Copies of this chain bind each other. A is one copy, B any other.
Amino acid sequence: MLSGRKETLKFDEIGEFGFIESIKNECITTLKDVIKGIGDDCAVFGPYSGRVLLFTTDMLVEDIHFVKAKITPYQLGWKSIAVNLSDIAAMGGRPLILLISLAIPSEMDVEIIQDLYKGMKDICEHYKVNIVGGDTVASPDKLVINVSLIGDAKENEVLYRSGARAGDSIYLTGNIGDSFAGLKILKKEISPSEPIASHFIKIHNEPKPLIETGMAIAASGFANAMIDVSDGLLSDLGHICKESDVGAILFRSKVPLSSELKLLASREKFNPLKLALSGGEDYILLLTVPQINIKDFEIVCKDKGLLPLYLIGKIVEGKGIKMVNDDGSLEEIDIKGFNHFSPSLL
């Protein structure tokens, strides 16, 4: 037996995805009712009375996910729940009830917590979700918010990351990049004048999860796979490819960018597509639809008012994501997501 040198790896050397990968297979499911454990936007279990339950959680830590000076308490409350709602939207589900855990520095003004809570209450009212409890504890210094949310969906309608098949078309339900531009403005990496700055900051701080859109897509029965764009288009499309064991091709000219972003990019001299592809927190939906369903799907979406809808690429056999340039040439893409282990707000 070799007496090897003891490794003392630090957590940021393996990162979130490395850690999850290392434990994923050990979370043995002893219960037949667990339909999906680790590896999607939500866990799925049931069925109960013909429906499955969706279960998701997100933690926001001060100075990692937010900086007090750059988001109002109201917006922070709103956003901490919005990111969870978006996970339910990504499965095609309906949000039902949630629990809020708060770790609060003792010296924090009560008013901040009340405003935070008002943002939470308003988004819950808007999306008809109930706050049914939580845990409120002290924190030595940083504010920490954890939300855990239960939703449900019809058993046969749930959309997983793993459902994509070669030949599927890839759709986005909105523009990408605006949120990341807002983050760059908050970080003072770019400094446009008002009201442009506020426009992008608001998109970053007050995401609107697409619950109705997700439910309508799931109910249509035409899609194969879905995810919300939280880590960034490339990273999230990468999740779909990995879970579905497929590759993808993106059409460079079809990636939807807002006119505001294009204008900002031309003024501030950056490549808006590059920013949009590597950014995150768009909280729109990314889905794949088999070729045979495309016509019907687009008609249904139009009827239900689910536009905009952008066809941005194709699922293919193999691995990895390639980009089709305007001249028809293919380019391999290095997937770089939005990694909170490289604190992006500091």
Q: Enumerate chain B residues within 8 angstroms of A103, measured Cβ to Cβ.
A: 59, 61, 64, 144
Shortest distance between the CB of A127 and any CB in chain B (Å): 10
In this complex, what residue of B is CB-closest to A37?
B132
Q: Enumerate chain B residues within 8 angstroms of A311, measured Cβ to Cβ.
A: none
Q: Mark A222-233, 1 if CB is under 8 A from B, else 0.
A: 000000000000
Interface contact B135-A59, CB-CB below 8 Å: yes
Interface contact A140-B26, CB-CB below 8 Å: no
A130 within 8 A of B: yes
Interface contact A133-B38, CB-CB below 8 Å: yes
User: Which of A75-116 touch B at CB < 8 Å?
Assistant: 96-97, 99, 101-111, 113-114
Q: Mark A303-346, 1 if CB is under 8 A from B, else 0.
A: 00000000000000000000000000000000000001101000
Interface size class of A (residues with CB under 8 A): 35 or more
Q: Enumerate chain B residues within 8 angstroms of A129, measured Cβ to Cβ.
A: 30
Please measure, in the bound complex, the distance between the C-alpha atom of A235 and the C-alpha atom of B131, giving whole angstroms: 24
A298 within 8 A of B: no
**Which of B19, B101, B109 has a CB less than 8 Å from the CB of A11?**
B109
User: Which of A115-142 touch B at CB < 8 Å?
Assistant: 117, 121, 124-125, 128-142
Q: Enumerate chain B residues within 8 angstroms of A96, measured Cβ to Cβ.
A: 31, 33, 45
**Which of B10, B105, B132 has a CB less than 8 Å from the CB of A27?**
B132
